[in-house]
Amino acid sequence: MGLTWKQRVFTALLGAAAVSGLTALLLILVGTINVLLPPDTKFGIVFDAGSSHTSLFVYQWPANKENDTGVVSQALACQAEGPGISSYASDPARVGESLQGCLEEALALIPKAKHHETPMFLGATAGMRLLSHKNRSQAEDVFAAVSRALSQSPADFRGAELLTGQDEGAFGWITVNYVLGLLLKYSFSGEWIQPLEETLVGALDMGGASTQITFVPGGPILDKTTQATFRLYGTDHTVYTHSYLCFGRDQALSRLLVELVQASPGLLVRHPCYHSGYRDTLALAPLYDSPCIPAAAPLDLSQNLTVEGTGSPGACIEALRKLFNFSSCDGRADCAFAGVYQPPVQGQFYAFSNFYYTFHYLNLTSRPTLSEANATVWEFCLQPWKLVEASAPPGQDRWLRDYCASGLYILTLLVEGYGFSEETWAGLEFRQQAGGTDIGWTLGYMLNLTNLIPAEAPAQGWAQSFSIWTAGVVFVVLTLVATLGAVAVHVFWLQD
């Protein structure tokens, strides 16, 4: 006896469901290919503990790296509350509190699952170098307090250390050249390439307590103590670098003031680098509180000092020159000042930190000639104090009196110290950022650190072409429709 027409419909729907289901399964099995998934992202946290303040930076890079070095980008910049960590020497327990706000901001940015594998480092620069010279025990207490506070974080704390001046200069050089795309660049063909070494630029950094110069010289480096070598993206780099402690902006201007105090008969000091009409009373004791001050302190440090500005740029330069000891380099072409070896400067340089802050205020960051820069600073120094105050933008009260002195100090350092001429001055750029990234030693440190973090092989996954995926979806839908149809026939027709 043959099948009824209802049974034939039921059988056909079951067959269609079986065929379309098998077809969908074959498409899934045969059409799937093995692919590399996008690399995971790594993060790193670096504290820059400078002499006047502490900044935190968060960096990120793909886990698979490029020639053993991470392709790093800045994800966060945060300035911690309060002064530099060396200011907590008498109360180190408070130093950890000053870092917590920025640390919490960094951990909120980094996925929680990655906290334990995120390296975190605090590098202290010239402010802590000075404290170590002055009172090693206090410096150790500050570092211990920082370590206690940061080790409680879920991040992988790698320590709090005193960065050498040479490392600070070298890492700053790495940062500048990296963000300018001069160490590694993504080509139009979709490949990472390394530009020619001739395009590398020099780095000039100035903090509150020290200043650094770093560049690739035109010949061999004769004094190996000024040489730094490192390997990035499979290439070795050798640079000249030197750090001058006590020649940062704040310490240099403090030394200048003490020189003027020593030369004054009483407690009234006529300051040629302060604008005419400026007058202030200062406590005498803090001036002699730094290891950078070689002069013997007066017997009575409880007295106050009265300072009057005379607005004399010529006399200011003469006073500034006494800070450098240029005579120790007489007759030597490869000497900067204080008997320090330096090859002749060449090529392009990026000047940042206090170089930039001073010249930005003086409107000298748009590539003026050396003559124009000199004329601008002199004209500013000759302005009376009342005019300077009236024309100053908001928020400049703290530094306003010192822009004349720091402008002339920078010109003296660059021209008479480092040896920039009218011709080589054309290669100088004053910048706070490059490529949207803050310039300083921290990014260079993180790039160097990524050499020590093992690369991860790209994760593998399964994928299909769009056409095969579409066909698979169609046959899955047909399978569901045929199956539901067969169920409906069985329930509502065959049971009649």
Phi, psi of 54 (to 5 degrees): -120, 135
pLDDT of the residue at 233: 73
Q: Is 209 annotated as a binding residue?
A: yes
Beta bridge partners of 349: 202, 428
**CA–CA dist 376, 370 (Å, integer):** 10
Q: Which two three-digit tokens encode residue 431? A: 């910048």
For residue range 236-247, list pLDDT tens digits in order: 889 999 999 999
Give the 3-state secondary structure percentages of the chain, helix then strand then coil, rounded to 5.
45, 20, 35
Mean pLDDT lowest for which of 36-45, 182-191, 444-453?
182-191
Q: What is the DSSP string of 92-137?
A: GGGHHHHHHHHHHHHHHHS-GGGGGG-EEEEEE-HHHHHHHHH-HH
Does 79 belong to an annotated binding site? no
Residue 35 pLDDT exceeds 50: no
What is the chain's Cα-based Rg? 33
- Whole-number Å distance between alpha carbons of 50 and 173: 17
> What is the phi-psi region of residue 277: left when phi exceeds 0, alpha when psi lies from -120 to 50, beta otherwise?
left
**26 or 106: which leads in pLDDT:** 106
- pLDDT for residue 458 is more than 70: no
Is 168 a catalytic site residue?
Answer: yes
- Which of 81, 105, 168, 429 is catalytic? The answer is 168
pLDDT tens for each residue of 120-129: 999 999 899 9
Query: Is residue 461 marked as binding?
Result: no
Work out the percent of the chain whose per-residue pLDDT is above 90: 57
| Superfamily designation of domain 249-322+368-425 | Exopolyphosphatase. Domain 2 (3.30.420.150)
Give the span between the Cα atoms of 72 and 58, in whole angstroms: 10
Secondary structure of residue 425 in the 3-state scheme: helix
Min mean pLDDT across 194-208, 408-422, 447-461 is at 447-461
Q: Strands 210-215 and 202-206: what pairing? A: antiparallel
**CATH-assigned architecture of domain 41-246+434-450:** 2-Layer Sandwich (3.30)
Mean predicted confidence (pLDDT) in 475-485: 68
210 known member of a binding site? yes
pLDDT attached to residue 457: 42
Sketch the domain layout of the chain as residue ranges: 5-32+464-492, 41-246+434-450, 249-322+368-425
Residue 272: the pLDDT is 98
Number of H helices, E strands in the chain: 14, 20
Q: Which two tokens stand for residue 167?
A: 């490392």
Tell me the per-residue pLDDT of 251-282, one tens digit each, with 9 for 90 and over: 999 999 999 999 988 889 999 999 999 999 99
Tell me the pLDDT band of 454, cut-offs 50, 70 and 90. Answer: very low
Confirm or deny that 211 is annotated as ligand binding.
yes
Q: What is the mean pLDDT of the chain?
A: 85
Q: Is the dihedral of CA 133, 137, 142, 147 positive or negative?
A: positive
